[in-house]
Structure 1
Amino acid sequence: MTAPSLARLRHNRAFKVWLLSTAQSQLGTALSSVALGFLVLEQTGSAGSLTLTLALSLLPNLLLPLAGVWTDRLGPKGLLVAADALRGGVQLALAAAALLGLLTPELIYAAALLNGLLGAMSGPAASSAVPLLVEADDLPRANGLLASFGQGAWLAGYAAGGVLVTLLGPAWALGLDGLTYLVAALAVGGLVQFRHAAQAQGSETALGFWAELRGGVSALRKSRTLTLIPGLALVANAALGPVLALTPAVMDNLGRGAAGYSLFLMLETGGALLAGTIFARWGGALPPHATVTAGLLLGGLSLAMMAGLGTFPALLAGSALFGLSVGLVNTPLVTLIGSQVAASHLGRAFALLSMTGSLGMPLVLLAITPQADQVPASTFYGLAGAGLLLAAAGWWAATRTEAAAYPRRTSV
């Protein structure tokens, strides 16, 4: 990327505000992700309640394709500001209820569902923000900066979350998360102007709402690779569900508590950050189909190690490897869609991908909730690992012909 590109980004106030507001909001989300698991355990003492809470927060992702169409029609700003303001209010109310001793499991479930709904309705708007803030030539560096700041915020949030929950309790972490949402709403509402929003809304609205959705589906039917990607994302995210939902209880049983879980999440994020660094340096030379296969294999093996050993060091090592595997799978899948789907259909294609991928986790969580307190977490880790290994074999067998014809790049 050229020096003029960096200079333009440095002088782009709207992008800088978006970058910082997004990063501080992700910091708050990381804090609350550590806190929420232990808040549920405080209230119920049940691993099943953990899985149910996470499932409820993810079910609204079924609405992502609809939200993608609304974003194209209305522009992102209003959706982003409204969703952040409402999520801030929900988190602050949840924190206040916890501090006042008024919190019940039902309130936690309701807040999880509402936050999930608000996140789903604003997700496509957030994904479309950067192209409306920077020039096309600046997109690679802008997205790289956004990813770097975001991963750094998650790492800091996981570290601070473990300390905060241990010393002060989970309610304070939820309250800080609520404040970061309000800061984001004020910053985006008052300081960010999305350029070319009217043009980006497009002329396809004349086709009708459902016709627009069908256009996104058709875009993912151009090749076997594209057709398989949503299903693969579903399997990969389904495997992630038991890891996120059951590990807080595992850490409690090992005597490591919130500090151990935050370290687990930090190492997982560090693995994903390493994957991002690999792609930033050598991405052009890595064949995407083969990289996805390698990532699935690594993910399956890391979960098998966590299931087989079950010790604190094994969980930490498995977390880092699993985070690396997630990055090795997700980035090539996004590259494949970006290189093979027309620009006019990218928003809907990515919304459909996110919806399908997100569906896998709540389905698995709802399925395991009745058994979560009776069956060891290692069993679910092992089943998730086996699913990833089978997905690796299926992906390789189904796409090897198209992989051989995919344009090879040798530059790094």
Structure 2
Amino acid sequence: MTRQHPESGPEGDDRRAAHDFDPVRPGETFTSAHEEFAQLRPRCPIARSQEYGGFWAALGYDEVLSVITDIEHFTTSKQNAIPKFAFTGVRPPLHLDPPEHLAYRRVINAFFTPPKMRAMEPKARAVAVDLLDPLIDARWVDVCKQYAHKFPAAVFAHFFNLDVAVSAEIKDVSGEYVDAIQVLNHEVVIRLSRRLYEIAQGIIDDRRAGDYDPDDDLTAALLAAEYQGAPLPEAMVLGCVRQLIVTGMVAPSVFTGNMFVHLSRDTDLQDRLRAEPQLIPAAIEEFLRLYSPYRGMARTAREDVVLSGQLIRKDDPIALVYTSANRDERVFPDGDNFVLHRPNIAQHISFGRGTHSCPGAPLARMMMRITLEEALARSTAFRPAGEPEMAIWAEWGTRSVPLDFVRA
């Protein structure tokens, strides 16, 4: 990794017209994106695509880490996703840089503490069992559509103290919203985003009218919080709730499917985890490294800057391709393969790093652990029953995973 001021970097920016990869190429398989990134990383760890109006893509581990930790040269407030789709308002904390974002992060972080996660676990486990039991009895299932798409919505209903019907609507609308983003249907994106704002406003109105304890309800805590001696602005609280109710829906869905694909193809590992469930947390960390779903989150250059020899112009967006970075052989030898108890597994950046690292990581880890514990305990085997269907950029991962379960 090298970061320089432009005057000490290359003359000009000839590679700005390059087209190293196509993020919307059809026919992606479970391995094709990783094969392409493995070829690109050694020759252009900062790659270029002309899709979505043109953008840079940080593919190497050091390059991604440099961008997400360098808040002096890269901002999240201008364009934080590729393609750009935030047309309907500022949504803290993701859309804010320090120090403003800290007012929201302090409130959010307080709801992902170990005691709160322990209190959530029985509710999350009950949801998992209720969803998994009938699927394992049915044998042939689509584990994404029948479990992974429903589990996060139900858990978040408990986490946000929401009615299950409201959470289900959030899941349905956010799913359509993501689909519209992927095909750049701006009209539909704006319409569905406004609906998500309406749902968020309804949650806020309910909290204002009800007797909710800010220690037990995240929305109530945001309403009670202050920044520089004044309540958080109403529009910002609305944007924050709007961000929170959607963020936890998509990535857990595709990642859960990724884990099931891997285990259905690696029966030795599946049997080992079934026999030694105490290994599941370690396995999840390696799954997080191997199958990170994020490749479209982004930053924008505040000024001209050289990163690993490449000139990034002021206002150029740069995608943070965690999907690629977590397999960088310079950091993770044998990076395309599953290695249980990998010595440097703590270095993976599936939840980001620094200012905008994912506050919901403890809940995500708990959800994944419960999913594997309950699925493995209730089955003697599960096998592929068809090819997985893949999501398209900005997420990497599965949308459909047909499996054949054998009940324990």
TM-score (norm. length: structure 1): 0.29
Greater share of helix:
1
What is the TM-score with the length of structure 2 in the denominator? 0.29
